[in-house]
Amino acid sequence: MIATSTIGRRTFLAGGAGAVVAGGLLEFRSEARAQDATSLPDYAKWKDADALIVHSDKTIETKRGEIGTSIITPKEKLYIRNNVNAPPAAIVANPEDWQVEFKGVREPKTLTVAELKTMGLATVATVLQCSGNGRKYFQDRLTGDQKISGTPWTVGAAGCVLWSGVPLRAVVDTLGGAGDGAKFVTGTGGEEIPAGLDPKDLVVERSVPISNLDNVILAWEMNGKPISLAHGGPLRMIVPGYSGINNVKYVKTVALTEVETDAKIQRSSYRMHAVGEKGAPEQPSIWEQPVKSWITAPLEGAKSGRIQIAGVAFGGMNAVAGVDVSTDGGQTWQKGEFIGPDLGRFAWKVFVLPVELAPGTYSLVSRATDSEGNVQPEEPELNGGGYSHNGWRAPAVEINIV
Ligand SMILES: Nc1nc2c(c(=O)[nH]1)N[C@H]1C(S)=C(S)[C@@H](COP(=O)(O)O)O[C@H]1N2
Ligand SMILES: [Mo]
Exposure b/e, 242-272, CB count within 10 A at least 16 = b = bbbbbbbbbbbbbbbbeebbebbbbbbbbbb
What's the confidence (pLDDT) of residue 38? 67
Q: Which phi and psi angles does 297 have, rounded to 5°?
A: -160, 145
pLDDT tens, residue order, the chain (402 aa): 333 333 333 332 333 333 333 333 333 334 444 444 469 999 999 999 999 999 999 999 999 999 999 999 999 999 999 999 999 999 999 999 999 999 999 999 999 999 999 999 999 999 999 999 999 999 999 999 999 999 999 999 999 999 999 999 999 999 999 999 999 999 999 999 999 999 999 999 999 999 999 999 999 999 999 999 999 999 999 999 999 999 999 999 999 999 999 999 999 999 999 999 999 999 999 999 999 999 999 999 999 999 999 999 999 999 999 999 999 999 999 999 999 999 999 999 999 999 999 999 999 999 999 999 999 999 999 999 999 999 999 999 999 999
Contact criterion met (CB below 8 Å) for 84 and 202? yes
Q: Which phi and psi angles does 245 have, rounded to 5°?
A: -55, -30
Cα dihedral: 333, 400, 142, 264 (round 10): 80
Q: Of 82, 135, 225, 270, which is best to mutate to test ligand 1, by the most ligand atoms within 8 angstroms of its C-beta?
A: 82
Q: Is the pTM of this model over 0.85?
A: yes
Kindly report the protein residue whose alpha carbon is nearest to atom 10 of ligand 1: 245
Which amino acid is located at 338 in the chain? F
CA of 304 to the centre of ligand 1 (A): 42
Rounded Cα distance, 18 and 6, in Å: 19
End-to-end CA distance of the chain: 29
What's the confidence (pLDDT) of residue 347? 98
Q: Which phi and psi angles does 315 have, rounded to 5°?
A: -110, 10
**How many of the other CB atoms lie within 10 Å of CB of 282?**
6
- Among all bound ligands, the one having the nearest atom to the CA of 61 is 1
pLDDT in tens, 92-122: 999 999 999 999 999 999 999 999 999 999 9
Rounded Cα distance, 218 and 129, in Å: 18
Kindly report the protein residue whose alpha carbon is nearest to atom 21 of ligand 1: 80
CA of 244 to the centre of ligand 2 (A): 5
Preceding peptide of 298 cis, ω within 30° = yes
What's the confidence (pLDDT) of residue 205? 98
Q: Counting beta carbons within 10 angstroms of the beta carbon of residue 381, is it exposed (0 to 12), middle (13 to 18) or buried (19 or more)?
A: exposed
- Among all bound ligands, the one having the nearest atom to the CA of 247 is 1
CA of 120 to the centre of ligand 1 (A): 25
- Among all bound ligands, the one having the nearest atom to the CA of 85 is 1
Q: Which phi and psi angles does 236 have, rounded to 5°?
A: -130, 140
Sequence-ordered strand ranges (E) for 106-263: 109-112, 122-129, 158-167, 184-189, 205-209, 217-222, 225-226, 236-238, 251-257
Residues with CB under 6 A from ligand 1: 78-84, 128, 130, 189, 191, 204, 231-232, 244-245, 247-250
| CB within 8 Å of 204: residues ≥ 6 apart | 83, 84, 188, 189, 191, 248, 249, 263, 265
CA of 189 to the centre of ligand 2 (A): 14
CA of 85 to the centre of ligand 2 (A): 14
Report which ligand 1 atom has the smallest distance to the Cα of 80: 19
Report which ligand 1 atom has the smallest distance to the Cα of 81: 19
Kindly report the protein residue whose alpha carbon is nearest to atom 15 of ligand 1: 244
Vertex 368 angle, CA 365 and 371, to 5°: 175
What's the confidence (pLDDT) of residue 245? 98
Collapsing DSSP to helix, strand or coil, 136 comes out as: helix
Reference 81, options 244, 290, 237; nearest CA is 244
Element (H, E) at 249: none
**How many of the other CB atoms lie within 10 Å of CB of 9?**
14
Report which ligand 1 atom has the smallest distance to the Cα of 78: 21
